[in-house]
Amino acid sequence: METGLLAFRVQLSKSNQTTAILNRNQDRENVVIHSRRAHNKSRGGCVSCKQRRKKCDERVPTCSRCLNKGLECTYIAAVKRSVRLVNNARTPTVAYPLWPGPCAPPVLTTSSYVQHTPYDLLLLDHFVHNVGAYIAGAEYHHTFTVQALDIAKEVPFLMHAMLAVASCHLQYTLADGRAYRMPEALHTQLASQGLRQAVSHMQAAKDMDSVLTASMLLNFLAFCYTDYQDEEAGSHQNKPSWQWLRISIGLRDLLMATKPFHHESIWLPMFVATAAFRFDEPPQNDLDVRLARFCGINSTTTATNNPYFDFYEQLGPLAVRKPSISYLRKYNHAIGGIDQYFVSLLEREDSKAMVLFAHWLALMCALAGGWITRRARRACWMICDILDGRLRDEERVLLVRPAEACGYPLGAEEPERDWE
């Protein structure tokens, strides 16, 4: 005030200024200042209070706020513990006399962490008791889990392939299988590297068996694998990727190159059985006739004048019958009718190639087991989405079975199903 700067429109008198200052000083002396009460900070509150940004008294089993509001009270530590207990309950007990020992697989005994993970024994046990039996079927379970395993004890890249497939399977079967992503990536890389080196050095039936078995497993893995973040079929991508198919059809060339050793192979019974396979079930529809007409195939057609012929020959007998896990080996064998040119037709979105392959995918979609049907559903969905607005009338009827298999909703005027 002494400088002439006024806080009010009217200047106070000298006496009033002095009185006001004295009163203000007296008020300050009478004010009681309380220090801030110390309290413990905790991050262990329940999930409900954390979401509502409220202080939780952390009472167990139910905090006061959840009790008053009738909310479910869950603590993060309890959730983590329950998931861990579920995973432990599903973890098989390893009882294999493989490690340590003179015949221990190299991949499990190396001192370098670059070559193995802490899960490897569990993965091996899971492959023998679960995955191997599923892939090979009841007839050839012994081949995968005993004969091929004996070879894998001495051939690291084959062991890596087995562990990679087991890691993939556990990611889909456990409540939280993310811990197996790193083992899958590591073992897939090591198996692929070893396989590339072994292909050029095959000199005996044993070499061929390790190469063929590892190739089968890696092809199976390529089909099962999809992007982890793309959970819903066709919802984040518009076009399917066919890189996995290019990998798979390479097995046909490998089978041809190793044919001189087949008579000594552990897979000889399967080769013979596949060649001599006969269907016991009669045809259920005329899809083979419809597909042939759509692709321009008749009695004079050959693979030379029609690029769809080879795959159609493999697919036709399967398409007219109900999908069955007992035909899985034939479904896989049908891929042998696909060459690189057919894949290029798929990449160019050729309607005939896509319709044929959609029916193969529909058969795969019907098999139990989300870990092998996920890619099939996604690819089948995308093909239906591409062709839905392109095909008309009788041609569009050919989309009904693939659409039903993958869950794709055809247009409002869904064609009549007269193939059942």
pLDDT tens-place values along the chain, 420 residues long: 444 444 444 454 555 555 555 566 565 555 555 555 555 566 678 877 877 778 888 887 788 888 887 777 877 654 444 434 444 444 444 443 344 344 445 545 554 445 677 888 889 989 988 888 777 777 777 888 889 999 998 899 999 999 999 998 888 888 777 888 888 989 999 999 999 888 888 777 778 899 999 998 998 888 886 555 444 434 445 678 888 888 888 888 888 888 888 888 888 888 887 777 777 788 889 999 999 999 999 999 999 999 999 999 999 999 999 888 778 888 888 888 899 999 999 999 999 999 999 999 999 988 766 677 788 888 999 999 999 989 888 889 999 999 999 989 986 454 444 334
Rounded Cα–Cα distance for residues 331 and 333 (Å): 5
The pLDDT assigned to 21 comes to 56
The pLDDT assigned to 162 comes to 94
Q: What is the dihedral of CA 105, 110, 113, 119, to 10 degrees?
A: 30
- Supply φ then ψ for residue 75, to 5 degrees: -105, 140
User: Interhelix angle for 181-199 vs 205-224, to 10°?
Assistant: 140
The pLDDT assigned to 50 comes to 77
State the CB neighbour count (10 A cutoff) for residue 76: 13
Rounded Cα–Cα distance for residues 1 and 4 (Å): 6
- Supply φ then ψ for residue 36, to 5 degrees: -65, 130
Q: What is the dihedral of CA 397, 401, 407, 411, to 10 degrees?
A: 0
Rounded Cα–Cα distance for residues 108 and 91 (Å): 18
Chain centroid to Cα 156, Å, comes to 24
The pLDDT assigned to 40 comes to 58
Rounded Cα–Cα distance for residues 120 and 163 (Å): 7
Q: Is the pTM of this model over 0.75?
A: no
The pLDDT assigned to 308 comes to 96
The pLDDT assigned to 226 comes to 58
Enumerate domains of the chain plus CATH numbers: 44-90 (4.10.240.10), 93-225 (no CATH), 274-406 (no CATH)
